[in-house]
């Protein structure tokens, strides 16, 4: 890879993971092509301001992907289960990998999910494992799999933030369950490492986590950050299941098994200082 010359295509560029990887690559002078369905969005314009070449494209549109992959050295691939659904996400992930291989992409980085390889029975974990297997089968000159755990940044989304603003951390897991978490910006750091050290990182599949907390302790930490008392409220799993069977299966797995990333080893091995929940919450934009 030639810094500033080799093009890296970042999918999901206006989302959480793609956005973090794109920003870290741009901060180091890399040439980023940012794929988005909405090039006029605020997030896309910000990436353009930072130096990215923003291109319009859709993971469901092979023609747009072929155009976006033209002359590309590396790809950062991410799909969104909650937007696409389990079946379509798998189709998108496999389609992108297969097209990238045909277009001669040299280094392919796929962001999966922690424990995808452990036969969890969670639909949106198992489909990512099948995408991983496709990436490996295609035999890129080099490739890396990143497997993040639950995002701390999820607490800022409509799934959690409205409740937090009313003083309640609403989630359907037991108070004793330790949930591993990672700040999305840390995923960006590993994404940068996966491209800059692509030879060293080739063939690796890395579970990423930066902290682990029970939900009562999480509520205590978030209370300090948001400036009001937050209490943990365990949502009945039957209520979660009304919203999403897939999500309910995941929460039951968190209680029964859970992620198993080795956080101290991760930091030592890659020299990346991982962000704790308290550190993330203190700088998050709660207003």
59 found inside a domain = yes
Residue 189's domain spans which residues? 7-148+184-208+260-272
1 found inside a domain = no
215 found inside a domain = no
Which pLDDT band holds residue 1 (cuts at 50, 70, 90)? confident
Does 177 have pLDDT greater than 90?
yes
Does 2 have pLDDT greater than 90?
no
Task: State the pLDDT at residue 263.
Answer: 97
96 found inside a domain = yes
286 found inside a domain = no
Total structural domains within the chain: 1
Taken as a whole, the chain contains a residue count of 287
C-alpha to C-alpha distance for 57 and 4, rounded to whole angstroms: 23
Does 4 have pLDDT greater than 90?
no
What average pLDDT does the structure give for the chain? 96
C-alpha to C-alpha distance for 236 and 241, rounded to whole angstroms: 9
pLDDT one-digit tens code per residue, 246-285:
999 999 999 999 999 999 999 999 999 999 999 999 999 9
Task: State the pLDDT at residue 201.
Answer: 96
Does 45 have pLDDT greater than 90?
yes
What does the radius of gyration of the chain's CA atoms come to, in whole angstroms?
19
Cα separation of the two ends of the chain? 41
**CA dihedral of 276, 277, 282, 283, whole degrees rounded to 10:** 70
Residue 127 in tokens: 């489909």
Does 218 have pLDDT greater than 80?
yes
CA atoms within 13 A on the CB side of 111: 32
State what percent of residues in the chain have pLDDT above 90.
94
Q: What is the mean pLDDT of residues 74-92?
A: 93
Task: State the pLDDT at residue 266.
Answer: 96
224 found inside a domain = no
Contacts of 244 (CB under 8 A, 6+ apart): none
Residue 78's CATH number? 3.40.50.720
């Amino acid at each position: 890879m030639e810094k500033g010359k080799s093009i890296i295509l970042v999918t999901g560029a206006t989302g959480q993971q793609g956005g973090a990887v794109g920003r870290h690559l741009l901060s180091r002078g890399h040439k980023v092509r940012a794929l988005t369905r909405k090039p006029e969005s605020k997030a896309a314009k910000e990436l353009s301001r930072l130096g990215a070449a923003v291109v319009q494209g859709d993971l469901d549109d092979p023609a747009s992907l072929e155009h976006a992959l033209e002359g590309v050295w590396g790809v950062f691939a991410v799909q969104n289960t909650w937007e696409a659904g389990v079946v379509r996400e798998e189709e998108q992930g496999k389609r992108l990998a297969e097209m990238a291989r045909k277009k001669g992409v040299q280094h392919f980085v796929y962001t999966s999910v922690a424990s995808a390889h452990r036969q969890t029975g969670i639909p949106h974990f198992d489909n990512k494992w099948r995408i991983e297997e496709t990436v490996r089968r295609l035999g890129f000159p080099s490739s890396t799999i990143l497997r993040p755990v639950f995002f701390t940044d999820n607490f800022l989304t409509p799934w959690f933030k409205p409740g937090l603003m009313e003083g309640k951390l609403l989630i359907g897991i037991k108070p004793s369950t330790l949930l591993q978490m990672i700040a999305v910006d840390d995923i960006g750091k590993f994404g940068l490492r996966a491209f800059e050290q692509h030879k060293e990182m080739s063939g690796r599949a890395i579970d990423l986590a930066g902290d682990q907390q029970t939900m009562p302790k999480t509520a205590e930490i978030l209370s300090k950050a948001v400036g009001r008392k937050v209490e943990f409220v365990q949502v009945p799993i039957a209520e979660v299941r009304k919203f999403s069977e897939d999500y309910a299966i995941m929460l039951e797995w968190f209680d029964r098994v859970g992620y198993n990333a080795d956080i101290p080893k991760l930091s030592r091995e890659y020299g990346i200082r991982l962000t704790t929940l308290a550190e993330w919450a203190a700088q998050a934009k709660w207003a």
